[in-house]
C-alpha cells in the first residue's frame, strides 16, 4: 500500500452547518456509550496522523467528509484495537473495506456512530486502512475520527461517559474526558513529503466498479477499489482519486429522454459531493498527473435516439475544455468504453474532439481506443456485455498501464 497524501481545504458555511446538524441529530439518536474497561486515545480525522487519498473535505471541527467516490484513510497506531466514529447525511448503505497490517481486506457496512473495526489485538504497532467502495450518490460520509484502544496517553473510557457526545462546534471537541494520543494534546506538524504520482479517474458505473462483487443489491456489488482505475494506480505505485457516478454520460445519461436537459459530466465533475452543488472541487485541492475520462456507454444506450457524431464531438470537446480549466497541467486520457459496440459508436466523436484539441495546441490530451486492435475483453470478462467483471477490469488496467508507461515514461 502506497503512502497517502493529505489535503488541506476549507468548506463553505452552508455545507458545514448542514453537516454539524446531521452529526448532532445522529449523536442524540445514537445515545452511544462505551462498554468495558478499555482506554482509548481519540484522533480527529483531519489530524496529520491520518493519511488520506481521494476527494475528502476537511471541516473546522476535525472531521473529514467524502461523497464523490472511493476514498481511503490510513493510520499507524500502537494499541490493542481501533474504532472509527462515522456518520452520514443519508440512511443509505455505504460499504467499506478495512485492512489491518498485512491481513486481508474485509468488507463492512458503516453505521451511524462508533464502528468497532478491530479489537483484542496483540499490543504493539499496527497499520489501519479503510476504503469507501460505494459511489457518492449514496450520500456523504462524515468521518469524525478514530479511537485507538490502549494507545499511550489514552484515558479509561468507562470514566468518559459518552465519548460521542462532544460539542461539534468546538474544534477540539471529541467528548468528555477523551484526549488526543499525544501527552501534550498537540498534534505534530505535518512533514513535507515529496510529490507522488497521482491518477484521477472520472466516469460512469464501470469506473465505479459496478457489479464486481457477485451478490447483493446494486451498491453492495460495487467496488471502487477493485475497478480498473485504482488497479492501474497500484500497478504504477501511484495515488488515485476515483470520481464516478452510475448512469452518467458526457452528453446523455442512462435512459435519458428528450429534451436531454439533465446534468451531465460537464456540470458534475467539479462537485466535491455528488449529492450537493457545493462545495466545488478545484485545482488547489489536488494536482493529478493523469486524468482518465471514462464516458460513452450511457451516451449511446438509446439506439433509436443516439446523439449524432457531430453533436457528440462538440459536447465532448466542451467536457474536455471544462476539465482543462481546473486540470491545467494534467495529461488527459479520453477512453472509450470496453464494450465493442458502444466503443465503435464513440470513436468518431471522441477521437474527433481529441484531434481538434491537439491541432489547437493541447498536446497533453490523448484518445485511448480500448478496442483499436480488436476486442480487448472476451465475453467471459463481462457480466452483461457492458459491465466488466474483475478479470475485465484487470485487462483494462494492464492495457492502460502500457499506454501510461509509453506516454508518461512511468516504470
Query: CA torsion 32→217→275→8, rounded to 10°?
Result: 60
Q: What is the pLDDT, as a whole number, of residue 308?
A: 96
Tell me which of 284 and 373 has the higher pLDDT: 373
Query: CA torsion 397→403→405→409, rounded to 10°?
Result: -140
Query: Which cell goes with 94?
Result: 455505504
- DSSP-based three-state secondary structure for 134: coil
Q: What is the pLDDT, as a whole number, of residue 62?
A: 95
Confidence of residue 21 (pLDDT cuts 50, 70, 90): low
Percentage of residues in the chain having pLDDT higher than 90: 76
Q: How far apart are CA 87 and CA 137, in angstroms?
A: 16
pLDDT, average across residues 301-314? 94
Q: What is the pLDDT, as a whole number, of residue 365?
A: 98
* Mean pLDDT (the chain, rounded): 85
Highest mean pLDDT among 33-37, 155-159, 302-306, 378-382: 378-382
Q: What is the pLDDT, as a whole number, of residue 20?
A: 52
Q: How far apart are CA 140 and CA 330, in angstroms?
A: 27
Query: How many CB atoms are located within 10 Å of the residue 306 CB?
Result: 15
Query: How many CB atoms are located within 10 Å of the residue 358 CB?
Result: 14
Q: How far apart are CA 2 and CA 261, in angstroms?
A: 41
Percentage of residues in the chain having pLDDT higher than 70: 81
Give the range among 67-71, 181-185, 375-379 with minimum mean pLDDT.
Answer: 181-185
Q: What is the pLDDT, as a whole number, of residue 218?
A: 96
Q: What is the pLDDT, as a whole number, of residue 265?
A: 95
Q: What is the pLDDT, as a whole number, of residue 165?
A: 29
Model pLDDT for residues 198-255, shown as the tens digit of each residue: 999 999 999 999 999 999 999 999 999 999 999 999 999 999 999 999 999 999 999 9
Model pLDDT for residues 156-181, shown as the tens digit of each residue: 443 333 333 222 222 333 332 233 33
pLDDT, average across residues 387-409? 97
Model pLDDT for residues 275-284, shown as the tens digit of each residue: 999 999 988 8
Tell me which of 138 and 182 has the higher pLDDT: 138
Q: What is the CA radius of gyration of the chain?
A: 22
Cα 333 vs. chain centroid, distance in angstroms?
19
Residue closest to 290 by CA, chosen among 247, 235, 222: 235
Q: What is the pLDDT, as a whole number, of residue 190?
A: 53
Residue closest to 274 by CA, chosen among 315, 219, 232, 333: 219
Q: Which helix (H) or strand (E) holds 66?
A: strand 64-66
pLDDT, average across residues 140-169? 62
* Beta strands 64-66; 56-58: pairing state: antiparallel
Q: What is the pLDDT, as a whole number, of residue 5?
A: 36
Model pLDDT for residues 51-89, shown as the tens digit of each residue: 999 999 999 999 999 999 999 999 999 999 999 999 999
Q: What is the pLDDT, as a whole number, of residue 40?
A: 74
Q: What is the pLDDT, as a whole number, of residue 283?
A: 85
Confidence of residue 189 (pLDDT cuts 50, 70, 90): low
Q: What is the pLDDT, as a whole number, of residue 25?
A: 44
Tell me which of 177 and 90 has the higher pLDDT: 90
Confidence of residue 187 (pLDDT cuts 50, 70, 90): low
Residue closest to 32 by CA, chosen among 145, 111, 138: 111
Q: What is the pLDDT, as a whole number, of residue 186?
A: 52
Give the range among 28-37, 100-109, 163-172, 310-319 with minimum mean pLDDT.
Answer: 163-172
Give the range among 23-37, 130-144, 251-265 with minimum mean pLDDT.
Answer: 23-37
Q: What is the pLDDT, as a whole number, of residue 158?
A: 36
Tell me which of 336 and 28 has the higher pLDDT: 336
DSSP assignment letter at 190: P
Tell me which of 129 and 176 has the higher pLDDT: 129
Q: What is the pLDDT, as a whole number, of residue 31?
A: 34
Residue closest to 52 by CA, chosen among 286, 291, 292, 330: 286
Q: Which helix (H) or strand (E) holds 129?
A: strand 125-132
φ and ψ at residue 38, rounded to 5 degrees = -70, 150
Q: What is the pLDDT, as a whole number, of residue 96?
A: 98
φ and ψ at residue 249, rounded to 5 degrees = -135, 170
CB-count exposure of residue 378 (10 Å: 0-12, 13-18, 19+) = exposed
Model pLDDT for residues 331-364, shown as the tens digit of each residue: 999 999 999 999 999 999 999 999 999 999 999 9
Q: How far apart are CA 37 and CA 49, in angstroms?
A: 25
Amino acid at each position: 500500500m502506497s503512502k497517502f497524501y493529505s489535503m488541506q481545504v476549507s468548506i463553505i458555511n452552508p455545507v458545514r452547518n448542514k453537516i454539524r446538524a446531521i452529526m448532532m441529530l445522529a449523536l442524540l439518536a445514537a445515545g452511544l456509550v462505551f462498554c468495558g474497561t478499555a482506554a482509548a486515545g481519540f484522533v480527529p480525522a483531519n489530524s496529520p496522523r491520518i493519511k488520506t487519498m481521494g476527494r475528502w473535505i476537511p471541516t473546522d471541527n476535525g472531521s473529514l467528509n467524502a461523497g464523490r467516490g472511493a476514498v481511503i484513510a490510513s493510520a499507524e497506531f500502537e494499541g490493542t484495537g481501533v474504532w472509527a466514529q462515522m456518520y452520514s447525511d443519508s440512511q443509505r448503505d455505504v460499504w467499506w473495506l478495512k485492512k489491518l497490517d498485512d491481513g486481508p481486506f474485509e468488507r463492512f457496512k458503516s453505521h451511524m456512530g462508533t464502528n468497532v473495526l478491530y479489537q483484542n489485538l496483540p499490543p504493539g504497532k499496527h497499520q489501519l486502512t479503510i476504503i469507501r467502495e460505494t459511489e457518492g450518490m449514496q450520500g456523504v460520509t462524515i468521518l469524525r475520527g478514530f479511537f485507538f484502544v490502549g494507545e499511550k496517553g489514552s484515558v479509561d473510557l468507562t470514566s468518559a461517559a459518552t465519548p460521542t457526545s462532544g460539542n461539534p462546534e468546538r474544534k477540539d471537541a471529541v467528548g468528555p474526558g477523551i484526549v488526543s494520543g499525544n501527552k501534550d494534546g498537540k498534534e505534530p506538524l505535518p512533514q513535507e513529503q515529496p510529490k507522488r504520482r497521482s491518477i484521477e479517474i472520472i466516469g460512469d458505473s464501470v469506473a465505479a466498479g459496478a457489479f464486481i462483487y457477485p451478490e447483493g443489491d446494486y451498491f453492495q456489488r460495487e467496488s471502487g477499489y477493485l475497478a480498473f482505475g485504482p488497479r492501474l494506480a497500484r500497478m504504477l505505485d501511484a495515488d488515485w482519486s476515483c470520481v464516478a457516478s452510475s448512469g452518467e454520460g458526457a452528453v446523455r445519461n442512462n435512459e435519458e429522454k428528450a429534451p436531454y436537459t439533465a446534468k451531465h459530466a460537464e456540470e458534475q465533475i467539479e462537485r466535491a459531493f455528488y449529492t450537493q452543488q457545493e462545495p466545488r472541487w478545484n485545482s488547489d485541492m489536488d494536482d493529478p498527473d493523469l486524468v482518465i475520462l471514462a464516458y460513452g456507454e450511457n451516451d449511446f444506450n438509446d439506439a433509436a435516439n443516439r446523439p449524432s457524431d457531430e453533436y457528440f464531438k462538440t459536447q465532448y470537446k466542451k467536457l474536455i475544455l471544462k476539465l482543462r480549466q481546473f486540470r491545467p497541467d494534467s495529461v488527459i486520457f479520453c477512453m472509450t468504453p470496453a464494450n465493442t459496440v458502444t466503443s465503435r459508436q464513440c470513436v468518431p466523436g471522441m477521437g474527433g474532439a481529441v484531434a481538434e484539441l491537439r491541432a489547437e495546441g493541447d498536446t497533453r490530451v490523448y484518445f485511448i481506443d480500448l478496442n483499436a486492435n480488436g476486442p480487448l475483453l472476451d465475453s467471459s470478462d463481462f457480466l452483461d456485455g457492458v459491465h466488466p467483471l474483475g478479470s475485465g477490469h484487470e485487462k483494462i488496467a494492464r492495457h492502460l498501464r502500457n499506454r501510461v508507461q509509453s506516454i508518461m515514461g512511468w516504470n
